[in-house]
Amino acid sequence: MKLKVLGTQSPYNTEGHNCPGFFIQDGNNRILLDCGSGSHSLLSYPCDLENLSVFISHLHRDHYNDIFNLQYSSFVFHNQKRLQRPIDIYLPSTPSDIVNDITGESNSYANYYNINDESRLKVGNIEISFCKMDHPVETYAIRLDNGERSIVYSSDTSFSAKDRLIDFSREADLLICESSLLTEYGFPEINSHLTAKQAGIIAKQANVKGLALTHFWPEEDIHKYVDEAKSVFINVVALKEGQVIDVPTVDRLER
């Protein structure tokens, strides 16, 4: 499995920095975890739309804004007979007005499916499972397992869901974990987002091989997130747009 990082920033995109998006390719199977503002610009069209399954972890703008770009591109490439099958879009079932907005888009070439805590899917040989997180809207962490390697994406979550996220991430090769906050901001421990230190605690207790931090505040110095997480977990990196990680090499992320 190869991960290409499309976006690491929130709540808005700036030049060179997009809102969350993670593109995973395993053979001919393509999986996109979230498609936040600007993230689609790092995809290759139309080839990355072929055999593509998109998973939207939750319906906050910074995680789904670019779905409309994908739907319309899929529509146009299909009309040009350059795309053979519709893209598959998986999303939570609430908030219903946003679900209806996405699934009601007529100029699209897509299939739609709801996800929940019990959903178990297979895309090619990749097993995909979900775990509900604590966040102001229905939100799922997502785990991909191809029998040899595994990636877990935390989505957005409060530290109150840490025990579930630790169990769900156990022994994963790579944990892509949000670290929206720094301890120095002085927020209470239980917030709707994690600090970098809390991400480190989750990685350590889940015994993952590598921790990849994401969901950074646009004005913040990225090194601060890495330093804070490193105080509890050694093998950590801050993700960057355009970065490619070959998952079997996660034992030393900062090469």
Q: Which residues bind Zn ion (CB under 5 A)?
A: 10, 60, 62, 156
Which tokens is 124 given? 């090619």
Nearer to Zn ion, 62 or 228 (CB): 62
Token pair 């595994």: residue:
150
CB of 215 to Zn ion, least distance (A): 6
Asked whether 200 and 228 are in contact (CB, 8 A), the reply is yes
Strand partners, 130: 142
Q: Please give the Cα distance from 247 to 239 (Å, whole number).
A: 14
CB of 61 to Zn ion, least distance (A): 8
Nearer to Zn ion, 26 or 62 (CB): 62
CB of 62 to Zn ion, least distance (A): 4
CB of 138 to Zn ion, least distance (A): 11
How do 210-214 and 174-178 pair as beta strands? parallel
Helix axes 196-206, 222-230, angle to 10 degrees: 40
Strand partners, 131: 141
**CA distances from residue 215 to 50, 177, 249 in whole angstroms, order as listed:** 27, 8, 23
CA angle 211, 217, 221 (to 5 degrees): 75
Nearer to Zn ion, 108 or 192 (CB): 192
Torsion angle, alpha carbons of 236, 239, 245, 247, to 10: 50
Nearer to Zn ion, 10 or 108 (CB): 10
Nearer to Zn ion, 4 or 60 (CB): 60
CB of 21 to Zn ion, least distance (A): 11
